[in-house]
Structure 1
Amino acid sequence: MKRTIFLLLSTALLLQACGYTKAVKVAWDPANNPPIPDYSDSSAWAALPDMKDSADHIPAMGLIDIQYTARADVFFIHPTSYFTRKHWNADIHDEKVNDHTDEGTITHQASVFNGSCRVFAPRYRQTTYQAFFSLDNPEATEAFKLAYGDVKAAFQYYLSHYNNGRPIIIASHSQGTVMAVWLLQEFFDGTPLQKQLVAAYITGMPVYNDDFTFIPVCDSASQQQCYVSWRSFLYGHEPPEKYQIRNRENVVVVNPLTWTTDTGFVAPVHNIGGLGKNAETIYPQVCGTEIHGDLLWVTKPDIPGKALLWMKNYHRADYNLYWMNIRDNVAVKVNRYLEEHH
C-alpha cells in the first residue's frame, strides 16, 4: 500500500510538471460509491475473448486476432478514462467513460495482445484523474483502494471461471499500473501462481526495483516470469528538478526495442512499427530509444498527424510508439513459455 501511494505521488509530480493543478472538490463518502461491479455480467468487462469488443481490433495490414485459439491469456488493466472533479470513482456503466476507454486504451493498447492471447480487461471503479492532485488527502487513498478492490475481484473471477491453469500475462498502463503492481504483489510474487506468469507489461508509471521480491526485471526478449516497464519522453528532455520523482535511481526501465536494460541508443531501424492515431496503420521505424535514468528517451516520432510533436511527455503513446515490437515480444515470450512448460 505504501509503495502504491508512493507511485501515485510520483505521478502527481509529473502531472504538475505538465501544468495540471486541479483537485477533487467533494468529500469521499462510501455511501456515494457507485454500484459494485458484477463480474459474472459481461457488461462489467471492456474485453472478453467471446465478446465482440475493441480488443479484437487489428490494423489493416494482415495481422490476425487469434483469441479463439490462443493458449495464453492477458489480464489488462486500463489507465484513467475518468476526469471529473465532482466524484472520486467512476461508475462502470457510465457510457461516456466506457466509450473513452474502449476507443482509446482498449483499441490502442489491449489489442496488441490479441495475436497471442485471449484478452480480459475489466471495467472498474477507477479513480478520477483529478485525484492525483489530492494525494495529501487520505480520501484519495480510499478512492484508489476502492478501485483496486474491483480489479482484485475481477481477477479472482477470471481465475475461478476462465483461467483453468493457462499461462497469464499481466498488462497495464498508468493508473492501471498502480493496480497491476498491487495485484502482482498479492497474487504472484513468491506464490504458486507465479509459475503461470509469462510476463508483466506494466508501463506509464514508475515501477521500482524493490517492488517485488521474487519477480525479476526482464533482461532478454525471451525471458519469462519477469516484468518490463518504461515511461516515454522526448529525447533530451529532463523534467525540472522540483518535478522529478523520488528515488528515481531505483526506477526500472526496459527498452521495448531491445527488451533489455542496456542504456545505449537504439536506432529507429529496430522499431518494427508504431500504431498510428487512427489505429489503422503501422508506421515502421517511427522512433529510436535510449534509457536515460528513470526515463525512456524517444527520438521525435516520424508519424503522420504530428499529434505528439508538441509534447515532451509521450505518456499517452507508451504502447503506440512500439506497438509491433510489443506484439512481437508477446509472441516470443508466450511461445517460449509454452515450449518450456507444456
Structure 2
Amino acid sequence: MKHLNLLMLTGVLLMSAMAMYALLPSHEKITQEVAFVPQAPNYNDTLMWLTVDDDKDGRGADVFYVVSTWEEDWQNENGQTVHYADVWNERHRRHMAREINKVAAYMSPGNRFYAPFYRHATIESFMLQSEDSIRQRVQLAMDDVCTAFDHFLAQRDSTRPLIIAGFSQGGLAVVHLLKHMTDETYGQLAAAYVMGFKVTPADTLESRHLKAAQGESDTGVTICYNTVKDVKYIHPVIAATCMSINPVNWRTDATPAILHDTITVTLSPENQVLVVKGYEGKEYPPYKDFLNVGDIHSCEPWLYSECLQRNFKVRAEAWRHRKR
C-alpha cells in the first residue's frame, strides 16, 4: 500500500511539474530545453578569425564583419540537440568561411578585414513562436560577437575609420554591437551596415548610436535594407524594419535606381523595404518555407556588392575628412 501511495504521489508531482512547465513563458522553456552548449570561442586564438590586410597605403578602414546563419539544429556525439554552431568544429568553421571569404573579396580591397567565428544560433532558432523566444535563443551568439568585437577594438588603431557589417543573423549582431559600443567607439564609426535584417523602433530607443543613413556619405550612420519582390512578402521576423536606404542610389525616397542595366531597385518608404523588378533571385530557392519565399533574403550581401564596395571607401574618406 505504501508503494502504491508513493507511485500515486510521484504521478501527481510529475503532472504538476508538467502543468507548471506548460505555463512557463516561452523563453524560460527554451532555456530549459537547451541540452548542450558548445565550448566558448577564445578570441586570442587565431583559429577563431578570418582576416585580410589589403590596406597597402594605410588610408583604408578597419572592417568588422559578422557572418550569417549556417547551421541547422544538430546532435552531438551524446545525442544531445544543439542550437548553436560549434566554433571548434572544423566543419562548422568551414561553412562560415564560405560566406566570409566571398564577402571579403569585395569588402577587403583597400581595407583591413576581420571576421570572427561565433556560436551563431541555428536557423530553427529564428522559426520559434515569438520574438521573445528568438531573443532569448540568440543572446549567446550576440554575447560571442560582442566579446570578439571588444578583442578587436583592443588590437586596432583607433585613429582609423571603423566599419561594421553583417548579414542576416550577422545584421542582428550589428544592431547589438551599436548598442554595446561606447560613445568613444561610436566616434570612430564611419558606418554600420545591417544587410538583410531589421532595426526596430525599440532598438533606436535603446541606443542613440542607431542613426539612419540619409545619403551616400554621412558618417556614424546605420545602412539597413531588405529586398523583396513585392511588399506582401515582407518577413516580420527579419524585414519589418523602421529604417532603410536604397544602396544603389543612396536615396530614402521612392526614386528608382537601375542596377546592372536590367534590375530596378525601388525603396518603398511606407514599408521601408527594397522592391526589385527584373530580378527573380532563382539562385536562392525557398528554404523551409521560411526564407526566399518572395523576400529574396539570400541576395542581400551579393546583389549590391559593387555598390557597397564603393560606399565603404566614400564613407571612410568622409570620416577622415570630418576628423581633420
Aligned equivalent of 1:318: 300
Other-structure match for 1:260: 251
1:194 to 165, 171, 186: 186
**Deviation for aligned residue 1:102:** 1.5
Q: Following the alignment from structure 1 to structure 2, what is the Cα–Cα distance between the partners of residues 246 and 177? A: 10
Query: 1:138 offset after TM fit, Å?
Result: 7.2
Contact kept? 2:52, 2:108, Cα under 8 Å = no
- Name the structure, 1 or 2, with higher relative contact order (CA <8 Å, separation 6+): 1
Residue type of the alignment partner of 1:226? V
Q: Say which one has the larger Rg.
A: 2
Q: Which 5+ residue runs of structure 1 have no aligned equivalent? A: 1-23, 51-64, 272-283
Instruction: Tell me, in whole angstroms, the C-alpha distance in 1 between the residues paired with 2:57 and 2:91.
Output: 29
Aligned to 2:38: 34
For the residue of structure 1 that corresponds to 2:179, the secondary structure is helix
Structure 2 equivalent of residue 100 of structure 1: 95
Cα distance between partner residues in 2 of 1:148 and 1:247: 19
Question: What CA deviation, in whole Å up to 9, does each residue of 1:52-93 have, x standing for no partner?
Answer: xxxxxxxxxxxxx54684532011111101112531111102
Counterparts of 1:339 and 1:174 in 2: how far apart (Å)?
Answer: 31
Tell me the SS of whatever aligns to 1:38.
Answer: coil
Please identify, of 200-209 and 307-316, the stretch whose mean Cα deviation from structure 2 is larger. Answer: 307-316
Q: Deviations over 1:102-146 (max 9, x none)?
A: 22x213334322124211111001111111123549775443111
Does the alignment pair 1:222 with 2:194?
A: no
- Off by >4 Å, runs of 4+ in structure 1: 135-142, 243-248, 308-311
Displacement, 1:302? 8.3
- The aligned residue for residue 285 of structure 1 is 261
Please list the CA deviations of residues 270-321 of structure 1 after superposition, one character each: whole Å capped at 9, or x if unmatched: x3xxxxxxxxxxxx33522011213211123289xx5259852211111211
CA distance in 1, matches of 2:108, 2:238: 36
Determine if the alignment matches structure 1 residue 143 to structure 2 residue 132. no
Q: Is the 8 A contact 1:301 1:308 kept in 2?
A: no
Q: Does 1:340 align with 2:312?
A: no
Instruction: Describe the shift of the 1:296–1:340 C-alpha distance in structure 2 as closer, same or farther (beyond 3 A).
Output: same
State the SS of the aligned residue for 1:252.
Answer: coil
C-alpha contact (below 8 Å) 1:68/1:118 kept by paired residues: no
Aligned to 1:80: 69
Counterpart mapping for 1:1-342 below 5 A: 27-29=33-35, 32-45=36-49, 47-49=50-52, 65-66=54-55, 69-85=58-74, 86-103=81-98, 105-136=99-130, 141-188=135-182, 191-209=183-201, 211-212=203-204, 213-234=208-229, 236-239=230-233, 244=236, 248=240, 251-266=242-257, 268=258, 271=259, 284-285=260-261, 287-292=263-268, 293-301=271-279, 306-308=282-284, 312-342=294-324
Deviations 1:201-237 (A, max 9, x none): 1111111355232442111111111011111112x35
In 1, Cα distance between equivalents of 2:136 and 2:157: 30
Q: 1:337 to 1:318 in 2, by over 3 A?
A: same
The change in CA–CA distance for 1:182 and 1:246 in structure 2 (over 3 A counts) is closer
| CA pair 246-237 structure 1, distance change in 2 beyond 3 A | closer
How much identity, in percent, do the aligned residues show? Answer: 23
Q: CA RMSD in A?
A: 2.9
Counterpart for residue 21 of structure 2: none
Q: In structure 1, how many angstroms separate the alpha carbons of the residues matched to 2:153 and 2:227?
A: 32
TM-score normalised per structure 2? 0.76
Distance of 1:327 and 1:99 partners within structure 2: 24
CA contact (8 A) 1:231 1:296 kept: yes
Aligned residues: 278
Unpaired segments ≥5 residues, structure 2? 1-29, 75-80, 287-291
Amino acid corresponding to residue 43 of structure 1 in structure 2: L
Answer 1 or 2: which has greater helix percent.
Answer: 2
Question: Quick one: structure 1 residues 287 and 224, their matched pair in 2 at CA, closer, same or farther if it must change by over 3 Å?
Answer: same
Secondary structure, in 3 states, of the residue corresponding to 2:232? Answer: coil
